[in-house]
């Protein structure tokens, strides 16, 4: 297990490792792509672009194989998404199956308005309700984000498929949506809820900077307020939208920045703007936020590696073809790549890491009409091909974890077969706003060995890490916090790297010899310098853990006082 407290590893962490076993592997798309699939009623799906349709089919086929009634993945949340996909396909028996799933999902919604978890859905059907034997704890015994995941997917049902359902079921869904949205309204960042971080009790973490559920709450309140004639709810939908826009407009970025999974969830939520009341606040801003978010994605996406380069605020892997990231489904929906394997998606997806999250990508093709037209031409070109190596920089800020006056600074270098990225951050928690050391990657090098995409990443042990990327590599320092009276100092710098088949490193790899520390990994030469290297104590071990289910080499430098100097390491890289 990881030596980390995973706290808000929330929203979409599915551990579906067991599913990898005994599951019938699907044929590759080329073999099964047009044959053997359950027939669709084309009247709805024919409106999708060809590439979005391929994503929809690719994912829904895989979900079909894993559907074990009553639920997909034993999860009311993922089952709700699957039901929406079945309604869109509308093949033989799909509407009846979807209707039953929807009733079953709603039967797992919490109904007591006097609890903090009112209106959300049980994550694991066999778990008891939060109570004396299962202490109420946010993201542990209950997860208020699930109410938003489900409710937002029901918006698509209301707008696209309502006519296919029994009126009594439509009424039930509306009540369910209302309860989910009222329950979400209980959440106030820092107050209600039972969230904990490394620093102790922190209450709920639903602040505008927690972009993915925050944008879902905006859409839920805006839509359900109108649908149910609840003007207070509509008011809050507009209010929360204004808060989201203010947060976004500080630096033109989502505060959960550059995430293969969560940027996808936020774009999913934003794409629902097309169903919102025309005069709502979010409608005025969603297209701009979508466009600017795609501009950032275009800058970090490396089409020669078929994945999003780092750094990442929250990631579940380093190669989108080796774990399922929802954003990968959206990118594939725009540029294609399912058939030829160039999509940033695992192939096959059944059994892939985070496979459960794939269910989101039966939803995103349906609402791509509110996203795809707003992808700027320059970003589209960058998704399709790397015409020239480029540097990029951006900023983001996540109060209260960041001091509002001290934003995080992102830098990256994107080149053929190589992406380097870094974050300068000064936070009062370790592991980014999600306080998750395994997911927050403040400095990263990923590159191609020809057959694999491999990684060399910093593992955060301090809240204050000043890392910068350039075409020559990484510079990383541990300055004193300027943003907080922080006690989160660290006397180690840890780098985790892996992904190499047939590699056995010697004990003296990167040890200082003749005054220099240089070493070669497949297709990459590294040269390390700085006081951390010259004065620190170096250890190199393999096999002591895994991160995002990936085993790693752990290169760690421990250091004491460095004569008052700021601890620093420079990692020069050369692709060979
Ligand atoms: C396909 O769906 C449309 C819209 O729901 C419906 O009008 C039509 O009858 C369906 N066709 C078939 C063959 O089921
Ligand atoms: C909605 O909440 C009310 C209590 O406020 C409860 O009586 C009702 O059963 C809930 N409806 C659904 C669909 O969960
Ligand atoms: C209005 O909505 C907010 C946010 O959900 C909630 O806190 C408040 O209690 C609601 N007020 C009324 C009168 O329903
Ligand atoms: C949108 O229109 C409705 C109905 O006319 C009104 O109640 C609401 O205040 C308007 N919202 C905004 C943000 O102007
Ligand atoms: C990010 O850059 C700004 C200058 O644009 C600087 O004021 C700030 O301190 C930097 N943030 C960090 C964490 O170093
Ligand atoms: C940091 O601590 C000093 C001395 O205790 C105090 O005066 C100052 O206000 C604190 N600053 C912050 C940002 O909390
Ligand atoms: C270190 O320098 C000595 C003398 O120049 C040389 O013989 C030796 O090969 C060098 N070792 C390495 C690892 O470069
Ligand atoms: C990396 O190695 C160091 C030194 O052995 C150890 O203290 C640390 O816990 C390890 N970190 C991880 C994430 O494995």
How sure is the predictor about 198, in pLDDT bands with cuts at 50, 70 and 90? low
The SS3 call for residue 154 is helix
Q: Which atom of ligand 7 is nearest to the CA of 516?
A: 14
At 53 the three-state DSSP class reads: helix
Of 445, 474, 429, nearest in space to 572 by CA = 474
> Average pLDDT in the 5-10 region?
34
Residue 43 has pLDDT above 90, yes or no: no
Tell me the residue length of the chain. 576
Compute the distance between CA of residue 147 and CA of residue 145 in angstroms, rounded to an integer. Answer: 5
Does position 190 have pLDDT exceeding 90, yes or no?
no
Q: Read off the pLDDT of residues 223-251 as tens digits, 9 standing for 90 and up.
A: 999 999 999 999 999 999 999 999 999 99
Q: How far apart are CA 60 and CA 133, in angstroms?
A: 38
Q: Would the CB of 238 count as within 6 Å of ligand 4?
A: yes
Secondary structure of residue 136 in the 3-state scheme: coil
CA distance 240 to 224: 14
What is residue 426's three-state secondary structure?
A: strand
Q: Does 489 contact ligand 3 (Cβ within 6 A)?
A: no
Question: Tens digit of pLDDT for each residue in 96-146?
Answer: 999 999 999 999 999 999 999 999 999 999 999 999 999 998 999 999 999
Indicate which atom in ligand 3 lies nearest the CA of residue 232: 1
The predicted-structure confidence for 140-182, as pLDDT tens digits, reads as follows 999 999 999 999 999 999 999 999 999 999 999 999 999 999 9
Which of 39, 40, 41 has the most ligand 1 atoms within 8 A of CB, as the residue to mutate?
A: 41
pLDDT of 24 reads: 35
- Closest ligand 4 atom to 280 CA: 13
The protein residue with its alpha carbon nearest to ligand 1, atom 6, reads: 43
> What single-letter DSSP state applies at residue 472?
T
**Residue 41 binned pLDDT confidence (cut-offs 50, 70, 90):** confident
More confident residue, 200 or 547: 547
Ligand lying nearest the CA atom of residue 464:
5
> Which tens digit of pLDDT belongs to each residue from 489-529?
899 999 999 999 999 999 999 999 988 999 999 999 999 99
Question: Atom 4 in ligand 6: which residue has the minimum CA distance?
Answer: 485
Ligand 2 pocket, residue 176 CB under 6 Å: yes
| Best probe residue, ligand 2, of 76, 106, 111, 146 (max atoms within 8 Å of C-beta) | 111
Instruction: Tell whether ligand 4 has an atom less than 6 A from the beta carbon of residue 281.
Output: yes
Residue 457: nearest ligand to its CA? 8
Q: Please state, in angstroms and rounded to a whole number, the distance separating the CA atoms of residues 200 and 196.
A: 5
Residue nearest to atom 1 of ligand 6 (CA): 485
- Rounded distance between C-alpha atoms, residue 163 and residue 271, angstroms: 22
Ligand 4 atom nearest to 277, measured from its CA: 1
CA nearest to 309, candidates 404, 198, 395, 392:
392
For residues 464 and 557, give the distance between their C-alpha atoms in angstroms, rounded to a whole number: 17
How many Cα neighbours within 13 Å face the side chain of 353? 16
**To the nearest whole percent, how much of the chain has pLDDT over 70?**
91
CA angle 10, 228, 157 (to 5 degrees): 60
CB 421 within 8 Å of CB 452: no
Q: Catalogue all structural domains in the chain, each as residue range(s) with its CATH number.
A: 3-24+48-382 (1.50.10), 388-575 (no CATH)
Q: Residue 330 has which token pair?
A: 């959206």
Choice from 409, 411, 440, 462 to test ligand 5 binding pocket (greatest atom count within 8 A of CB)? 409
Ligand 4 and 43: CB distance under 6 A: no
| Ranges of H-type helices in 341-418 | 360-363, 377-384
Spatial neighbors of 431 by CB under 8 A, at least 6 apart, are 4, 198, 437, 438, 439, 440, 460
- The torsion region of residue 486 among left (phi > 0), alpha (psi -120 to 50) and beta comes to beta
The structure tokens listed for 205 are 């973490």
Q: Which ligand has an atom closest to residue 512 CA?
A: 7
The residue whose CB lies within 8 Å of the most ligand 3 atoms, and thus the one to mutate among 232, 239, 240, 243, is 232
13, pLDDT greater than 80: no
**Does ligand 7 have an atom closer than 6 angstroms to the CB of 124?**
no
Encode pLDDT of 464-477 as tens digits. 999 999 999 999 99
Q: Left, alpha or beta for 248 (phi > 0: left; psi -120 to 50: alpha)? A: alpha
DSSP conformational letter for 133: T
User: What are the φ/ψ torsions at residue 54 (nearest 5 degrees)?
Assistant: -65, -40
40 or 276, which is more confident = 276
Cα–Cα distance measured from residue 389 to residue 392, given in angstroms and rounded to the nearest whole number: 10
> For residue 22, how far is the Cα from the chain centroid?
27
Atom in ligand 8 nearest the alpha carbon of residue 545: 14
The answer to whether 59 touches 329, Cβ cutoff 8 Å, is: yes
Is 279 near ligand 4, meaning CB less than 6 Å away?
yes
- 487 CA to middle of ligand 6, Å? 12
CA 378/CA 502 separation, integer angstroms: 39
**Rounded Cα–Cα distance for residues 150 and 176 (Å):** 9
d(CA 314, CA 398): 13
**The model's pTM:** 0.93
In contact, 402 and 426? CB cutoff 8 Å: yes
Residue 366: helix, strand or coil by DSSP?
coil
pLDDT of residue 420: 99
- Asked if 88 and 56 touch (Cβ cutoff 8 Å), the reply is yes
Which residue puts its alpha carbon closest to atom 2 of ligand 4? 279
What residue has token string 């949506």?
177
- Identify the residue whose C-alpha is closest to ligand 3 atom 3: 185
How remote is the CA of residue 154 from the centroid of ligand 3, in Å? 22
Ligand 6 mean position, distance from CA 301 (Å) = 40
Residue 386 DSSP code: -
Q: Which ligand has the minimum distance to the alpha carbon of residue 172?
A: 2
Residue with the two structure tokens 């709603």: 106
> Do the beta carbons of residue 423 and residue 466 sit within 8 Å?
no
Q: How far is Cα 410 from Cα 387, in angstroms, rounded to an integer? A: 22
User: How much distance in Å is there from the Cα of 157 to the middle of ligand 1?
Assistant: 16
């Amino acid at each position: 297990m990881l030596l980390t407290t995973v706290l808000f590893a929330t929203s979409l962490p599915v551990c579906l490792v067991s599913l990898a076993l005994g599951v019938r592997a699907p044929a590759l798309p080329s073999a099964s792509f047009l044959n053997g699939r359950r027939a669709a009623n084309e009247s709805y799906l024919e409106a999708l672009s060809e590439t979005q349709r391929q994503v929809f089919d690719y994912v829904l086929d895989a979900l079909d194989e894993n559907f074990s009634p009553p639920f997909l993945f034993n999860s009311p949340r993922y089952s709700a998404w699957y039901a929406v996909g079945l309604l869109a396909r509308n093949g033989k028996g799909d509407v009846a199956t979807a209707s039953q799933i929807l009733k079953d999902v709603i039967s797992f919604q919490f109904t007591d308005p006097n609890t903090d978890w009112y209106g959300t859905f049980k994550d694991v059907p066999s778990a008891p309700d939060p109570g004396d034997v299962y202490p109420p704890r946010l993201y542990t015994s209950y997860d208020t984000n699930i109410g938003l995941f489900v409710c937002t997917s029901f918006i698509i049902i209301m707008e696209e498929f309502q006519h296919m359902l029994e009126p009594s079921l439509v009424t039930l869904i509306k009540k369910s949506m209302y309860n989910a949205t009222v329950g979400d309204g209980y959440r106030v960042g820092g107050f209600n809820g039972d969230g904990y971080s490394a620093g102790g009790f922190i209450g709920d973490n639903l602040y505008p900077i927690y972009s993915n559920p925050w944008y879902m709450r905006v859409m839920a309140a805006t839509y359900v307020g109108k649908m149910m004639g609840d003007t207070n709810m509509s008011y809050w939908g507009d209010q929360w939208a204004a808060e989201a826009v203010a947060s976004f407009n500080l630096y033109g970025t989502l505060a959960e920045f550059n995430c293969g999974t969560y940027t996808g969830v936020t774009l999913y939520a934003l794409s629902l703007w097309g169903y919102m009341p025309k005069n709502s606040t979010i409608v005025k801003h969603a297209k701009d936020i979508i466009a600017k978010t795609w501009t950032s994605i275009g800058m970090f996406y490396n089409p020669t590696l078929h994945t999003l380069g780092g750094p990442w605020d929250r990631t579940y892997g380093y190669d989108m073809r080796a774990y399922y990231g929802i954003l990968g489904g959206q990118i594939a929906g725009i540029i294609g790549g399912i058939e030829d394997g160039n999509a940033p998606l695992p192939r096959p997806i059944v059994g892939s890491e985070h496979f459960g999250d794939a269910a989101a990508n039966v939803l995103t093709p349906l609402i791509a009409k509110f996203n795809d037209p707003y992808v700027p031409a320059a970003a589209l070109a960058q998704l399709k091909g790397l015409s020239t190596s480029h540097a990029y920089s951006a900023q983001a800020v996540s109060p209260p974890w960041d001091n509002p006056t001290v934003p995080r600074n992102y830098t990256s270098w994107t080149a053929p077969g190589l992406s380097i990225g870094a974050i300068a951050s000064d936070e009062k928690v370790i592991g980014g706003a999600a306080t998750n050391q395994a997911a927050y990657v403040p400095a990263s090098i990923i590159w191609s060995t020809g057959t694999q995409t491999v990684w060399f990443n910093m593992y955060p042990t301090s809240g204050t890490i000043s890392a910068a990327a350039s075409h020559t590599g990484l510079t990383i320092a541990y300055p004193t916090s300027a943003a907080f009276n922080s006690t989160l100092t660290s006397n180690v710098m840890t780098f985790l790297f892996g992904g190499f088949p047939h590699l056995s490193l010697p004990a003296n790899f990167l040890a200082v010899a003749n005054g220099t520390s240089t070493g070669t990994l497949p297709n990459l030469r590294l040269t390390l310098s700085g006081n951390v290297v010259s004065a620190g104590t170096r250890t190199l071990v393999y096999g002591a853990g895994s991160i995002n289910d990936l085993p790693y080499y752990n290169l760690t430098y421990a250091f004491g006082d460095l004569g008052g100097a700021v601890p620093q390491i420079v990692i020069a890289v050369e692709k060979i």
